[in-house]
Amino acid sequence: MFGSSIYLRGREAFTGGSPQAVYEELWQRDRKSRLRRRAILAGLTLLLCGALVNAVFGTIAALLVAGADACVHWRTYNASKVWRRGLRGEERMGRLLRLTLERRGHRVLHGRTVPGHGTADQLVVGPGGIWLIRNDAWHPETEITSHGGRLFVDGRTKSQMVRELVEAAATTGRLLAERAGIEVKVVPVLAVHGGKLRKAPFRADGITLASPLKLIRWIHRNPVADFSPADIDAITRAAVLALPISRTMTPA
């Protein structure tokens, strides 16, 4: 279709009746209600603070309340952006890694193929260890919790997804150790874009889960190794040789 974006063509999130399309429609329908509630909150604040202090203080307080309410709703809407676009979040995570860990001496490989296990979104190699990152985006109301050390998403276990990630990390560690000649352990982690995470970061089924920024802080603060700059170079070279670039890699 002429005039349509080649980057969005065929993406299920932009078809009618998809969860993303329904969410967007409901959000737009609720706009008047949000504005009405915001006006009521601001009005009550103006009357109360104006009566207790003065009109100027009441006006400032009302504006602050209206701004805070708008900010809360915007954060909720913005948190679902990756999911609403039908993406998984690897592009966003890649940008955050470039602005954070890569500036602190970590090396990051994007979209590499782990033989027998598909594509790894990011492989982070740093002084404190090696982490294999998978990205997933969920509906804003999705409950993501841990019970008895197991991962549950909306009350259902994700055994296959977790097993695939853990096995990919183990295979990656074995390949890197063989090529670099260094004993290594690759830690599997899951970056969660959207959804409702309880007490993140948390560990379940052998993996650590958190929102992107919290996960980056967790990686920086929880080293599992002590690699020298020479070790990091050797491991990175081994990863480049052992893990080819995925053909399905999405440009960052």
In this structure, is residue 218 part of a structural domain?
yes
CATH number at residue 232: 3.40.1350
Q: Among residues 29, 62, 79, which one ends one of the domains?
A: 79
213 vs 3, 92, 101, 227, 242, CA distance in Å? Answer: 36, 11, 11, 23, 28
pLDDT band at 252 (very low <50, low <70, confident <90, very high): very low
Q: How many Å is the maximal CA-CA distance in the chain? A: 74
How many CB atoms are closer than 10 A to CB 175?
19
Same domain, 205 and 109: yes
In this structure, is residue 22 part of a structural domain?
yes
In this structure, is residue 187 part of a structural domain?
yes
pLDDT band at 1 (very low <50, low <70, confident <90, very high): very low
Same domain, 75 and 92: no
Same domain, 45 and 74: yes
In this structure, is residue 4 part of a structural domain?
no
Tokens representing 161? 């997804």
- Residue 45 has phi, psi (to 5 degrees) of -65, -40
In this structure, is residue 17 part of a structural domain?
yes
Same domain, 72 and 197: no
Same domain, 93 and 67: no
In this structure, is residue 248 part of a structural domain?
no
pLDDT band at 200 (very low <50, low <70, confident <90, very high): confident
- Domain range for 238: 88-242
List, for residues 99-129, the tens digit of each pLDDT value. 999 999 999 999 999 999 999 999 999 999 9
In this structure, is residue 215 part of a structural domain?
yes
Which H/E stretch holds residue 140? strand 129-147
**What are the residues facing 210 on neighbouring strands?**
191
Same domain, 120 and 206: yes
Same domain, 66 and 112: no
pTM, whole model, 2 decimals?
0.82
Same domain, 104 and 175: yes
Domains held by the chain: number: 2
pLDDT at 6: 37
List, for residues 136-189, the tens digit of each pLDDT value. 999 988 999 998 889 999 989 988 999 999 999 999 999 999 999 999 999 999
In sequence order, which ranges of the chain are alpha helices (DSSP H)?
19-29, 31-52, 55-79, 81-84, 90-99, 159-180, 212-221, 229-242
- Residue 127 has phi, psi (to 5 degrees) of -60, -30
In this structure, is residue 250 part of a structural domain?
no
Same domain, 160 and 211: yes
